[in-house]
Amino acid sequence: MLRFLLRRGAMLVATLLVASFAVYGALDLAPGSPIAALTGGRTPSPEVLAELNARYHLDDPFLVRYWNWLTAALTGDLGQSIPLRENVSTLIGQRIGVTASLVALTSLVIVVGGVGLGLLGALRKGAVDTGVVLVSTVSAAMPSFAAAVVLQFLFGVRLGWLPVLGTGTGFADSLKHLVLPALALAATSVALVTRVTRTAVREELDKEHVQTAVSRGLPWSSVVRRHVLRNAAIPITTVVGLTVASLIALSAVVETAFGLNGLGAYLVQAALNKDFAVVQGISLVLVVAFVVTNLLVDLAYALLDPRVALGSRAS
């Protein structure tokens, strides 16, 4: 187990190093100078130019700047937004909570809704199952931005039940503002998890060990919990983990659609305004979150399935 952890840890560090280099390098290559953003297009005098270059370390060679950025990032300092003259870490700190709660709430919807619907479809054949398949087919075809627009129209404009724009203030109000975004973000993934759960549970129900358990007279609920779900948990965990990881980037779309003041929406704004320090910082945070989530999925997978040979997983 320790070797497995060390190996995956080393891979994680290597991936993050290359990824951070790519993020920093790509934005460094971008045409246009940050000085132009500062001076509003006027040509600064040589003294001012030298002062600005020195303040933002624009004269250093690329590798030196990358190294400084990376080491500072490790201590939580992601540099300054040149147009806003504010610390990127502060800007991220103000918004990360919204994104984290959105992803957490969405994950909850995915797990409860997806596993619940999947179980329902697998255990109750006939009309209920057909209904589950129908719901999952429709919601699988709903990209998050499409779901966002449809939900805004139905529950916001037509029924007026829930707020459709903004972040809200206070706990209850914020939560209320997150309901529709979380549903929109969950739409496709719920369908996926439902499908995988339904298939996995069906397959497990047909296995001999389940029939044996039933014929031994074990109560049905305990057969489902201890024999069926325990085995079906492996594919379910994998698909839940992978979809949750994919939410991290997709949150940008939903946050923009619902006017939420989160990291993703801010990343899009920063990209449009060419605020490179912010784009670098948020991209780094999102990539780290994505990679770490994927690692956790692998770990959960290894823990749940003793057959996965630790340390030599086929990739």
Of the two residues 224 and 258, which places its CB atom closer to another protein in the complex? 258
Question: Rule CB under 8 A: is residue 263 a binding residue for another protein?
Answer: no
Considering only 1, 6, 10, 26, the residue that binds another protein (CB under 8 A) is 26
- Cβ atoms of 38 and 82 closer than 8 Å: yes
Q: Does residue 38 bind another protein (CB under 8 A)?
A: no
Q: Of 142 and 224, which has the nearer Cβ to another protein?
A: 142
Q: Which 45-104 residues touch another protein, going by CB under 8 A?
A: none
Our finding on whether 268 is near another protein (CB under 8 A) is yes
Among 192, 201, 224, 233, binds another protein (CB under 8 A): 192
CB 139 within 8 A of CB 185: no
One-character DSSP codes across 22-91: HHHHHHHHSSS-HHHHHHTTPPPPHHHHHHHHHHTTTTS-HHHHHHHHHHHHHTT---EETTTTEEHHHH
Task: Please report, as a single letter, which amino acid is at residue 109.
Answer: V
- Only one of the segments 69-77, 100-108, 176-184, 231-239 lies at the binding site for another protein (rule: CB under 8 A); that segment is 231-239
Span interacting with another protein, options 44-52, 75-83, 96-104, 232-240, rule CB under 8 A: 232-240
Which residue from 63, 108, 134, 165 is in contact with another protein, where contact means CB under 8 A? 165
Do residues 37 and 83 touch, judged by C-beta distance below 8 A?
Answer: yes
Contact residue for another protein among 87, 101, 246, 261 (CB under 8 A): 246
> In this chain, which of 88, 103, 132, 267 binds another protein, going by CB under 8 A?
267
Q: What is the DSSP string of 149-197?
A: HHHIIIIIIIS--S--SS--SSHHHHHHHHHHHHHHHHHHHHHHHHHHH
Are 296 and 290 contacting, i.e. CB atoms less than 8 angstroms apart?
no
Residues 103-142 that bind another protein (CB under 8 A): 137, 140-142
The total of other beta-carbon atoms located within 10 Å of residue 288's CB is 17
Name 86's bridge partners: 81
Residue closer to another protein (CB basis): 213 or 285: 285
Interface stretch with another protein, choices 69-77, 86-94, 203-211, 271-279 (CB under 8 A): 271-279
How buried is residue 13: exposed, middle or buried, by Cβ count under 10 Å (0-12/13-18/19+)?
exposed
Site string for another protein, 293-312 (x = CB under 8 A): -x------x-----------
Q: What would the two tokens of residue 241 be?
A: 């983990």
Contact by Cβ (8 Å): 204, 161: no
What amino acid occupies position 39? T
- Which residues would be at the binding site for another protein (CB under 8 A)? 11, 15-16, 18-19, 22-23, 26-27, 29-30, 137, 140-146, 149-150, 152-153, 156-157, 164-165, 192, 235, 238-239, 242-243, 246, 248-250, 252-253, 256-257, 267-268, 270-272, 274, 276, 279, 283, 286-287, 290-291, 294, 301, 313-315
